[in-house]
C-alpha cells in the first residue's frame, strides 16, 4: 500500500548532494488566473532536475560489492544526469544509454559528470531494452529511472519539502508524469500526510501512458509516443508507480504542445528561468484545470521539474506560445481582388493587432489571405472575431487548431501548382512527414524519395525539436496513385499524413 513509502521517504538521506528547492509564488500567474499559484523549483537542483533525488537515493542502497560492479541506466536525459552526477560523487562507474533524439545539452551534461554515454534508439523504450542487454553482458547494476521503490522514495522527498514549506491550505498539486516515479512518490506522501489535498497527474497528449492505463484499468503500451516533451515521453507507465497512483491521484490531465509552450513562457515571465517542456507540463495542466473548472481563490502548486532544453528549441517554443496561450487566432480570409480591399479588411478588424499577414495573387476574383490576429486568451474572443468578420461578409476559416497550417502553411503561403490545369492525367498529392531529427536525416529522406515522381513542393524547417517535419507535394499520374501509397508505407522510419484535402493546402497551394 502507498503508506509503506512514508518511512522510505523520511529515511532518504540525500541532502549531502541534492538540495531543498524553494517553493516560489508565481505573481503574474496568480493575478491572471485569480488563484494563488506556486512553483516548486526543481529546476534549481545541481543537475537542473528532480531526478537527482531518486538516482542518489537508489545508489545509497548499493552494497560495496554492487558499487564495484558499476551501474547502468536508460534515460531520455534527466535521470541520466542525476545518476552520472551521483555516481561521480560516490566514485561509482556509470554507463547511460540514451535515445539518439535526446537534446544535445543533456548528452553533453552526462559526459561532463563523468558518465559513459551510449546512444541507441529513437525513444526511451528502445534505449531501455538495449540497457538491459548490456546488463546481461557486463554484470552492471541497473538503476531504473522510475520503476523502483528507492527511486520513488527519493522523488517523494519533493512532497515532504513542499508540505513543510507551505503548512497552510493547499487545494491541489499538479505533478508531471513520464514513467510515474515522481508522481507516485509525491502522491503517496501527500495523501498519507494531508489527504484533503487533491493530486493531479499531468501528461502530454501524445505521450499519455498513465491516462490510457487508468482508463483501461491496467498498464498499456502506447503504439507511438510524441517526444516534444522528451523528459516525459514514455510509452508505458511503470509497474510500481501505477500500483501506487491508482489509489492516490484524483485525476489525469493532458496538455498539448501549444499549451506546454505557453506554460514555458509563463514560467519565464515569473521566474526569468527557462523550463524544458517536461518541466512545464504540470503548469500547463494547472492552467487547464483552472479554465475547465472555473475555480478561483484556491492555492495551486505545480512542479517545475527541469530546465534541460536545447537553446535552439526556443525558436519553436516561441512560435507556438501565443496559440498555446490562446492569444493569437490564425485565420484564412477571402477578400475581393480589388484595390483597397486589404485596407478595408484592416479597418474592419478595428483596433485588433495583426500578428501576421500573408498573401499571394490567386485569381482576378478573390484573394486568400493568411492572417494572424491577437485575441484575448480563453477562446471566446477568437470565436467572436470569426463571427464579426463573417457578419461583415467575409469568408473565414479558423486554422488556429490546424497543425499543417501552423507548422508549414504560415511559412509557405502563396504559390499555387503552376501545372494544375496542364494535364488532367497528373494530380498533385501533398504529404506531411515526421521522423527523428538526426545528422544526415534529411539527406536519407531525399535519397529514399528518389526521382520516380516529380516533387512540386518541398518545405523543411529545423524547429530545434526532436522530430523533423517536412511537407512534400508529388506530381503523380492517376495510374500511379496506389503505387505512391505503397511506396510511402514502406518508408524505413517516421510517420506521414496525406494532406491533399487539407483546406489550408486547397486555399493556398493547390
- The number of CA neighbours under 13 Å toward the Cβ of 112 is 11
> Residue 494's CB: how many other CB atoms inside 10 A?
17
- The helix/strand/coil state of 71 is strand
Catalytic residue status for 305: yes
- CA–CA distance, 262 with 107 (Å, rounded to integer): 26
Burial class (CB in 10 A: 0-12, 13-18, 19+), 402: middle
| Spatial CA neighbour of 53 closest among 162, 209, 173 | 162
CA angle 481, 485, 487 (to 5 degrees): 115
Determine whether 228 is exposed, middle or buried from the number of CB atoms within 10 Å of its CB (0-12, 13-18, 19+).
buried
Catalytic residue among 49, 75, 282, 305: 305
> Pairing relation of β-strands 23-25 and 36-41?
antiparallel
Distance CA 142, CA 222 (A): 24
The C-alpha cell 480591399 sits at 341
Q: Facing residues of 97 across strands?
A: 74, 118
CB 42 within 8 A of CB 158: yes
Determine contact, residues 31/297, Cβ cutoff 8 Å: no
Q: Do strands 366-374 and 495-498 pair parallel, antiparallel, or not at all (unpaired)?
A: unpaired
Burial environment of residue 224 by CB neighbours within 10 A (0 to 12, 13 to 18, 19 or more): exposed
Q: Which of 376, 490, 470, 480 is nearest to 428 (CA)?
A: 480
Q: What is the 3-state secondary structure (H, E, C) of 370-420?
A: EEEEECCCCCHHHHHHHHHHHHCCCEEEECCCCHHHHHCHHHCCCCCCCCC
Closest Cα to residue 465, out of 257, 310, 259? 310
- Looking at residue 3, the DSSP 8-state letter turns out to be G
User: Which of the following is catalytic: 40, 51, 191, 265?
Assistant: 51
- Crossing angle (nearest 10°) for helices 181-193 and 51-60: 90
Cβ-contact 51, 76 below 8 angstroms: no
Question: Is 494 in a helix, a strand, or coil?
Answer: coil
Count of all residues that appear for the chain in the document: 510
Closest CA to 433 of 393, 488, 380, 379: 488
Which residues are annotated as catalytic?
51, 305
Amino acid at each position: 500500500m502507498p503508506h509503506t513509502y512514508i518511512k522510505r521517504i523520511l529515511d532518504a538521506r540525500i541532502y549531502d548532494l541534492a538540495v531543498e528547492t524553494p517553493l516560489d509564488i508565481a505573481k503574474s500567474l496568480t493575478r491572471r488566473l485569480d488563484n494563488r499559484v506556486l512553483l516548486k523549483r526543481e529546476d534549481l537542483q545541481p543537475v537542473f532536475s528532480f531526478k537527482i533525488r531518486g538516482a542518489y537515493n537508489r545508489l545509497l542502497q548499493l552494497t560495496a560489492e554492487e558499487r564495484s560492479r558499476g551501474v547502468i541506466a536508460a534515460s531520455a536525459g534527466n535521470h541520466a544526469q542525476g545518476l552520472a552526477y551521483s555516481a561521480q560523487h560516490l566514485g561509482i562507474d556509470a554507463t547511460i544509454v540514451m535515445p539518439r533524439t535526446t537534446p544535445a545539452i543533456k548528452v553533453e551534461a552526462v559526459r561532463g559528470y563523468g558518465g559513459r554515454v551510449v546512444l541507441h534508439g529513437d525513444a526511451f523504450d528502445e534505449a531501455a531494452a538495449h540497457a538491459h542487454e548490456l546488463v546481461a553482458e557486463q554484470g552492471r547494476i541497473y538503476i531504473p529511472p522510475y520503476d523502483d521503490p528507492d527511486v520513488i522514495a527519493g522523488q517523494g522527498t519533493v512532497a515532504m519539502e513542499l508540505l513543510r514549506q507551505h503548512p497552510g491550505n493547499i487545494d491541489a498539486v499538479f505533478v508531471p508524469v513520464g514513467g510515474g516515479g515522481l508522481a507516485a512518490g509525491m502522491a503517496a506522501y501527500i495523501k498519507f500526510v494531508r489527504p484533503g489535498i487533491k493530486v493531479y497527474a499531468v501528461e502530454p497528449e501524445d505521450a499519455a501512458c498513465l491516462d490510457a492505463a487508468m482508463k483501461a484499468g491496467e498498464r498499456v503500451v502506447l503504439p507511438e509516443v510524441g517526444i516534444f516533451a522528451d523528459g516525459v515521453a514514455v510509452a508505458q507507465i511503470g509497474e510500481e508507480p501505477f500500483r501506487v497512483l491508482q489509489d492516490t491521484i484524483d485525476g489525469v490531465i493532458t496538455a498539448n504542445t501549444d499549451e506546454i509552450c505557453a506554460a514555458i513562457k509563463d514560467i519565464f515571465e515569473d521566474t526569468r528561468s527557462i523550463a524544458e517542456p517536461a518541466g512545464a507540463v504540470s503548469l500547463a495542466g494547472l492552467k487547464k484545470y483552472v479554465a475547465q473548472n472555473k475555480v478561483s481563490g484556491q492555492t495551486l502548486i505545480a512542479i517545475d521539474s527541469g530546465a534541460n532544453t536545447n537553446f535552439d528549441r526556443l525558436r519553436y517554443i516561441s512560435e507556438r506560445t501565443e496559440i498555446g496561450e490562446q492569444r493569437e487566432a490564425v485565420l484564412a480570409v477571402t477578400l475581393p481582388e480589388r484595390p483597397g480591399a486589404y485596407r478595408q479588411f484592416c479597418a474592419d478588424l478595428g483596433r485588433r493587432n495583426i500578428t501576421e499577414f500573408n498573401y499571394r495573387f490567386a485569381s482576378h476574383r478573390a484573394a486568400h489571405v493568411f492572417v494572424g490576429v491577437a485575441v484575448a486568451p480563453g477562446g471566446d474572443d477568437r470565436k467572436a472575431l470569426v463571427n464579426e468578420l463573417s457578419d461583415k461578409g467575409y469568408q473565414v476559416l479558423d486554422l488556429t487548431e490546424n497543425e499543417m497550417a501552423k507548422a508549414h502553411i504560415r511559412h509557405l503561403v502563396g504559390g499555387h501548382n503552376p501545372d494544375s490545369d496542364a494535364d488532367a492525367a497528373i494530380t498533385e498529392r501533398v504529404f506531411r512527414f515526421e521522423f527523428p531529427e538526426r545528422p544526415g536525416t534529411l539527406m536519407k529522406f531525399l535519397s529514399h524519395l528518389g526521382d520516380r515522381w516529380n516533387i512540386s513542393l518541398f518545405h523543411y524547417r529545423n524547429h530545434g525539436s526532436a522530430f523533423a517535419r517536412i511537407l512534400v507535394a508529388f506530381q503523380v499520374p492517376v495510374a500511379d496513385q496506389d503505387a505512391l501509397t505503397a511506396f510511402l508505407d514502406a518508408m524505413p522510419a517516421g510517420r506521414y499524413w496525406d494532406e491533399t484535402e487539407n483546406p489550408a493546402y486547397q486555399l493556398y497551394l493547390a
